[in-house]
Structure 1
Amino acid sequence: MTKQKIDPRVIRTRRLLKQALIELMEEQAFEEIKVQDISDRATVKRVTFYLHYKDKNELMVQCIDEILSDLREKVSVKISLLDNFDYLEEYPHPSFVQLFQHIADNFSFYKAFLVTNRIPYLASGLLEIIHEFVSEGINQIEPSEQNLTAKRDLIIKYVESAFLEVIIWWIKNNLPYSEHEMAFQLMNLSIKGPYKHNPLKNRDESLTENE
């Protein structure tokens, strides 16, 4: 059974409405935006909006679903890829780099939906994708519970939550580091922690020498 083609005029109108919503959400809170505002920005009639969406919430959810679907497809978190990756090499996992590339390519959307507005539906969807990557990575790096400093589920939640907040910080500060550098630094932090050497060990040795 072949899929029915969507009228190009419908595609164009929906694209205009989505872009209008993104632009408005970069400027103000979602709660303050009215359907009329979206229609005016998209240069379509209000009645036209309702031919495609029942309200602004449905439009917002569709925008988020499309961006998350595209992200999942591009990141392609698969066990087979993680199995063949050497985490000791001086470069980040390509799927992780792709995550940051996707955010950079859709910067206006992410800034509008995660910074100017922090939409829980997008944050939770993004966190779910990060969770898949983090959990598979940690399971691959260290499958033994005895070699972990805390419970596995707690470590995964700690790392994925930190990743999300750093991503939001990165967007809020207009992407001060490259996609590759962000992926590399965050991967290093999740594997090695913030210190090159144990600072407490170095301090103890210094105190011993001064006694």
Structure 2
Amino acid sequence: MAKLDPRQHRSKESMYDAYLDLLADNEAIISVQQLCTRAGITRPTFYKQYSDLEALRLDIHNNLLSKLKKALTINHPIPMADYEASNALPENMVLLFKHIYQHRYAYEILLVNQPDALFINDVKSIIRQFIIEGIRYSKAQERLVQVDRDFLISYTTGAYTETILWWIKNNYSMTAEEAAGSLFKMALKGPYSS
């Protein structure tokens, strides 16, 4: 992939922001001209980067999703028992919430204000893969899992997704560490104290 010069990079960022702003303004139909006016660029500048608005939309998705995948990549797997013994949090769970917060404007629009089904499904798919890898790396003994593995993966994917939505809708009322800690605690022991 060719590296963008600084002007192209700024133009691309302006287009990302303008597209999200137009969605936030509840624009039912966005035109290239509206986007260019909002971004402060010319139509030829837009068409140097994208064939149409759908290409821009997908580029915004892919940009965010690649960063989400990177945040959730398990680089140093640790068995579940080690987390329980140390009261440490999986680094990736904290990075998940930090990533969401860092890109909160885009997530607020694409997940909550103007939900984009394609984006939501892709986020769920990435979270699902993270959970599958986490189960594999945790070295949890299969005999201790009391439910069907696929059921567990679906349940946990939903829990992560709904927790992210709750966190956004509640204006990030917990820190990334607190949100990750609460989610991890429930994943290990459920919501009740023993």
Alpha carbons of structure 1 residues 85 and 14: separation in structure 2 relative to 1, 3 Å: farther
Query: For 1:36, which of 28, 33, 37 is the aligned residue?
Result: 33
Alpha carbons of structure 1 residues 12 and 77: separation in structure 2 relative to 1, 3 Å: same
Alpha carbons of structure 1 residues 130 and 5: separation in structure 2 relative to 1, 3 Å: closer
Residue 32 of structure 1 aligns to a residue in which SS? Answer: coil
Task: Map 1:121-200; keep pairs closer than 5 Å.
Answer: 121-139=118-136, 140=138, 142-144=140-142, 146-197=143-194
Q: Can you give the 5+ residue segments of structure 1 that lack an aligned partner in the other structure?
A: 198-211
Question: What's the Cα RMSD here?
Answer: 2.1
Number of equivalences? 192
8 Å Cα contact 2:110-2:116 kept in structure 1: yes
Instruction: Read off the aligned partner of 1:27 and give its amino acid letter.
Output: D
8 Å Cα contact 1:53-1:59 kept in structure 2: yes
Query: Per-residue deviation at 1:187?
Result: 0.8
8 Å Cα contact 1:17-1:38 kept in structure 2: yes
Query: For 2:82, which of 78, 81, 86 is the aligned residue?
Result: 86
The percentage of aligned residue pairs carrying the same residue is: 30
Are 1:22 and 2:9 matched, yes or no? no
Alpha carbons of structure 1 residues 87 and 137: separation in structure 2 relative to 1, 3 Å: farther
Alpha carbons of structure 1 residues 174 and 27: separation in structure 2 relative to 1, 3 Å: farther
8 Å Cα contact 2:69-2:126 kept in structure 1: yes
Residue number in structure 2 paired with 1:120: 117
Are 1:95 and 2:77 matched, yes or no? no
Instruction: Read off the aligned partner of 1:127 and give its amino acid letter.
Output: K
Residue number in structure 1 paired with 2:10: 12
Instruction: Read off the aligned partner of 1:87 and give its amino acid letter.
Output: Y
8 Å Cα contact 1:26-1:108 kept in structure 2: no
Deviation string 1:24-78 (CA, Å, 9 cap, x unpaired) is 222325x432222211110122343223212211101101101111222233224
Query: Per-residue deviation at 1:192?
Result: 0.9
Query: Per-residue deviation at 1:85?
Result: 7.4
Query: Per-residue deviation at 1:141?
Result: 5.1
Query: For 2:72, which of 68, 71, 75 is the aligned residue?
Result: 75
Query: For 2:61, which of 35, 42, 64 is the aligned residue?
Result: 64
Q: TM-score, normalised by structure 2?
A: 0.88
Residue 77 of structure 1 aligns to a residue in which SS? Answer: coil
8 Å Cα contact 1:113-1:119 kept in structure 2: yes
Q: TM-score, normalised by structure 1?
A: 0.81
